[in-house]
């Protein structure tokens, strides 16, 4: 479990699109704190501070010590809205948490024991089906990641959610029989050649379509001129 990160915020009395636009012009973003059987609290946070934490990739799995004026709140980001063009954070929903709070979170899957995997030693590859796994766990004990061992895995073997070593107190949200990854054998020379031919054929078709499109445009322009 990672250490908490910290953010500073200020209370805001008003809400709405006009207020949000005004805050963003001032270098801040609107946010809200909710949950724990308390009234929602509208706040504003420095935009750069939030974006730095968001792009570290840990906001949804790491608790935040959120200081609002003189009050401290232990929260977890549950929803982040991004600008459709710039991908900068425009709004955050924070959930208040305590020792009794349990919630579903998605955490990354990490593969270990690659040096003990016969498939990989024979130039096989790991075809990852799920890069994250959803767990039900305590809000104050969210793991940074979960580990899956590749030891003794051969070509064609599948790794399931049931193979994951779960942290104490955590439970799987999804069916344990679902696949996380499969071990694939190296491609044969025939398969590589077939893929290359397919790619070359696709490129030729794209070129033909572009030529036909250009010809159609030329004919259309000629008709207009007449």
Tens of pLDDT, residue by residue over 61-73, are 999 999 998 899 9
Is the confidence at residue 155, as pLDDT, over 70? yes
Query: How does DSSP classify residue 187?
Result: P
Would you call 173 exposed, middle or buried from its count of C-beta atoms within 10 A (0-12, 13-18, 19+)?
middle
Structural contact between residues 180 and 159, judged by C-beta atoms closer than 8 angstroms:
yes
Binning pLDDT at 50, 70 and 90, where does residue 200 land? confident
pLDDT at 8 over 60: yes
* Burial (CB count <10 Å: 0-12, 13-18, 19+), residue 165: exposed
pLDDT in the model for residue 93: 96
Please state the rounded mean pLDDT for residues 57-83. 93
In which band, very low, low, confident or very high, does the pLDDT at 225 lie, cut at 50, 70 and 90?
very low
Please tell me which residue, 208 or 125, carries the higher pLDDT value.
Answer: 125
Q: Span 36-51, mean pLDDT?
A: 93
- Give the pLDDT band (50/70/90) at residue 47: very high
Question: What is the mean predicted confidence (pLDDT) over 203-215?
Answer: 60
Q: What is the DSSP string of 11-69?
A: E-S--SHHHHHHHHHTTEEEEEEEETTEEEEEEEEEHHHHHHHHTTT-TTTS-EEEEET
Work out the percent of the chain whose per-residue pLDDT is above 90. Answer: 63
* Model pLDDT, residue 216: 56
Residue 214 has pLDDT above 80, yes or no: no
Put simply, whether the predicted model's pTM sits higher than 0.85 gets the answer no
Taking 90 as the threshold, does the pLDDT of residue 3 lie above it? no
Q: Which of 62, 73, 3 is nearest to 31 (CA)?
A: 73
Q: Is residue 202 very low, low, confident or very high in pLDDT (cuts 50, 70, 90)?
A: low
Give the residue-averaged pLDDT of 96-103: 91
**Of residues 135 and 195, which shows the higher confidence score?**
135
């Amino acid at each position: 479990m990672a250490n908490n990160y910290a953010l500073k915020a200020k209370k805001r009395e008003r809400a709405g699109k006009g207020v949000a636009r005004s805050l963003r012009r001032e270098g801040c973003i609107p946010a809200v704190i909710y949950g724990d059987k308390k009234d929602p609290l509208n706040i504003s946070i420095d935009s750069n501070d939030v974006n730095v934490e968001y792009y570290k990739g840990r906001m949804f799995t790491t608790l935040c010590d959120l200081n609002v004026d003189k009050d401290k709140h232990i929260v977890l980001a549950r929803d982040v809205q991004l600008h459709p063009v710039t991908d900068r954070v425009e709004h955050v929903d924070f959930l208040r948490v305590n020792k009794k709070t349990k919630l579903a979170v998605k955490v990354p899957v990490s593969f270990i024991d690659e040096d003990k995997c016969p498939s990989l030693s024979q130039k096989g590859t790991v075809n990852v089906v799920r890069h994250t796994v959803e767990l039900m766990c305590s809000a104050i004990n969210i793991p940074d990641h979960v580990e899956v061992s590749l030891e003794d895995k051969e070509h064609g073997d599948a790794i399931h959610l049931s193979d994951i070593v779960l942290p104490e107190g955590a439970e799987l949200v999804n069916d344990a029989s679902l696949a996380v990854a499969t071990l694939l054998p190296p491609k044969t020379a025939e398969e590589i050649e077939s893929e290359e031919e397919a790619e070359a054929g696709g490129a030729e078709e794209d070129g033909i379509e572009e030529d036909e499109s250009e010809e159609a445009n030329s004919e259309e322009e000629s008709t207009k001129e007449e």
